[in-house]
């Protein structure tokens, strides 16, 4: 075999190794139970806002502290602490994706993504022939 072919094979092997290593770090949606098992590791949890429990946000006291409760897809409800301002229309969100980790029983959230209801959801489109 030529030296150039051997070097090319080594480069391909290294590239595959890097891709496999990086692909292992891609996050998927998890549950609070999974996050609890690996406390301190960051996960993305998808769930719904629990409106039966009180949300705590007092911008006069601390504008960067927002506490609320979320129920994940398995039905487990956890307190969530977000160190940032409360997102606009947070209560209207159909679901939320939280990025963070479990610390001491609370989900410490670093990022919130909201799925808001579609304004076209209840609209009906009439299609007629001309």
Confidence of residue 33 (pLDDT cuts 50, 70, 90): confident
Cα gap 63→81, rounded to integer Å: 13
Provide the pLDDT for residue 18: 81
DSSP string, 91-107: GG-SEEEEEEEEETTEE
Q: Evaluate whether residue 11 is within a structural domain.
A: no
Confidence of residue 48 (pLDDT cuts 50, 70, 90): very high
Q: Evaluate whether residue 9 is within a structural domain.
A: no
Q: Evaluate whether residue 44 is within a structural domain.
A: yes
Provide the pLDDT for residue 23: 63
* Domain boundaries, position 51: 28-115
**In the predicted model, what is the mean pLDDT of the chain?**
84
CATH number of the domain bearing residue 95: 2.40.50.140
Q: Evaluate whether residue 1 is within a structural domain.
A: no
Taking residues 13-20, report their average pLDDT.
84
Confidence of residue 70 (pLDDT cuts 50, 70, 90): very high
Q: Evaluate whether residue 72 is within a structural domain.
A: yes
Q: Evaluate whether residue 104 is within a structural domain.
A: yes
């Amino acid at each position: 075999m030529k030296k150039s072919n051997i070097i090319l094979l080594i480069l391909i092997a290294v590239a595959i190794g890097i891709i496999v290593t990086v692909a292992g770090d891609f996050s998927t949606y998890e549950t609070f139970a999974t996050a609890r098992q690996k406390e301190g590791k960051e996960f993305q949890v998808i769930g719904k806002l629990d409106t039966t429990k009180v949300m705590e946000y007092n911008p006069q006291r601390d504008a960067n502290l927002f506490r609320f409760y979320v129920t994940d897809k398995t039905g487990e409800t956890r307190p969530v602490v977000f160190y940032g301002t409360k997102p606009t229309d947070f209560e209207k969100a159909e679901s939320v994706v939280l990025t963070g980790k479990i610390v001491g029983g609370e989900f410490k959230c670093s990022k919130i993504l909201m799925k808001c209801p579609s304004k076209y959801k209840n609209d009906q489109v009439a299609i007629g022939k001309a």
